[in-house]
Amino acid sequence: MTDASSRITETNNANDVVLYMKGTKSMPQCGFSSRVAGVLNYMGVDFADVNVLADEELRQGIKDFSDWPTIPQLYVKGEFVGGCDIITEMTLSGELDTLFDENGVTYDKDAADKIREANG
């Protein structure tokens, strides 16, 4: 296991929800990272943000780890969920709520409903 891979595993094991992103949850540095962080922040999800721009090894390492070519990447309970398009789709369909419910992740159900109402 590479250093990046072991750090990713440790981070995923230590946090219920992890977003590997460009920038941070308070200052995203790309539109796709901003969208996913914005959804999670709006829904009140407690998540760890990992800025891949701060570490080139990690930036490539997360792509290799998930076998997914793009960033951001969302993990829930150590499992890769998807990138921006998948998270957007899951939010709008209610699948993200279900995933959070099944994994005991606390979030604001009313906020999730408001996102769907605004985009429905």
The pLDDT of residue 120: 77
CB 81 within 8 A of CB 87: yes
DSSP state of 18: E
Q: Which residues have CB under 8 Å from 28's CB, separation 6+?
A: 21, 22, 34, 37, 38
The pLDDT of residue 2: 74
The pLDDT of residue 8: 97
Average pLDDT over residues 54-61: 95
Is the pLDDT assigned to residue 18 strictly greater than 80?
A: yes
